[in-house]
Amino acid sequence: MERVALPRPRTAGRYRVAVVCLGNICRSPMAHVVLEARVAEAGLADRVEVVSSGTAGWHVGKPMDPRAAATLSAAGYDPSRHRARQFEAGWFDDVDLVLVMDAANRSDVLALADQPGHPAQVAMFRDFDPAEPGAEVPDPYYGGDDGFQEVLAMVERSSSRLVALLAEQLADEPGGPSGG
Ligand code: 4NP
C-alpha cells in the first residue's frame, strides 16, 4: 500500500490523535482502546496520545455502550476507563490528527474548523484500513452484535497500519530514535 501522509506534529511532545464518531459510546471508544493498545505494543506510549469524542453531546460523561465494552473485553482489551466527551472547535488546536468514522462525522467536524490548517488535520479512520481504504466505519448502535464485531475488525486493521505509519514518522522527528 502506498504511504499515507500524516500531518506533522503541531508541537513538540507527544503526537496527538483524536478519534471521533457521533455519540462517543460505540465506534470511537472501540477505536480509542484498540489504537492505544497498538501504540503501547509498539513502544510508543510516551510519544503518541489517543483521545476520543463524539460530535453530539448526548452521552457526555457516560461509559461506552455495553455491547462495545463486551466486544472489546472478549478480545482482551480493557474498556473500563472510557467516559464520553464531545468534540469542540478547540480540539483542532490540541491534537495533530482528527480521525472520523464516517462522512457525517467528517462534515460535522469540518463545520467547526476555523483556521486554514484545520481541514488538513481531518482524515477517515479507515484511510488506514488495507482491506478497504477510505471506507466508513458503519454505526452499529441500532444493529445487532455482529455490527460490533465488524467494527472491531475494522479498527484493529486500521490501527495496526496507522501505528506502523506513526512509528515511521516519529522516527524522523526530533526525540525519535534517529532524531536524538
Ligand atoms: P457511535 O454510535 O457514534 O458509534 O457512538 C452511536 C451512539 C449513540 C447514538 C447514535 C450512534 N445515539 O443516537 O444516541
Q: For each of the chain's 180 residues, which pLDDT tens digit applies?
A: 444 679 988 877 899 999 999 999 999 999 999 999 999 999 999 999 999 999 999 999 999 999 999 999 999 999 999 999 999 999 999 999 999 999 999 999 999 999 999 999 999 999 999 999 999 999 999 999 999 999 999 999 999 999 999 999 988 776 655 544
Residue 6 lies in a domain: no
Q: Both ends of the chain: CA-CA distance in Å?
A: 29
Structural domain of residue 155, as residue ranges? 15-170
What distance in angstroms lies between residue 69's CA and the mean position of ligand 1's atoms? 14
Placement of cell 513502544 in the chain: 43
Residue 62 lies in a domain: yes
Residue 26 appears among annotated catalytic residues? no
Give the ligand 1 atom nearest the CA of 151.
Answer: 4
Residue 8 lies in a domain: no
What distance in angstroms lies between residue 141's CA and the mean position of ligand 1's atoms? 6
CA pair distance 45, 36, nearest whole angstrom: 8
What distance in angstroms lies between residue 24's CA and the mean position of ligand 1's atoms? 7
Question: What global pTM score does this model have?
Answer: 0.94
Instruction: Report the domain count for the chain.
Output: 1
Quick: pLDDT tens for 6-16.
998 887 789 99
Residue 4 lies in a domain: no
CATH of the domain at 86: 3.40.50.2300
Residue 130 lies in a domain: yes
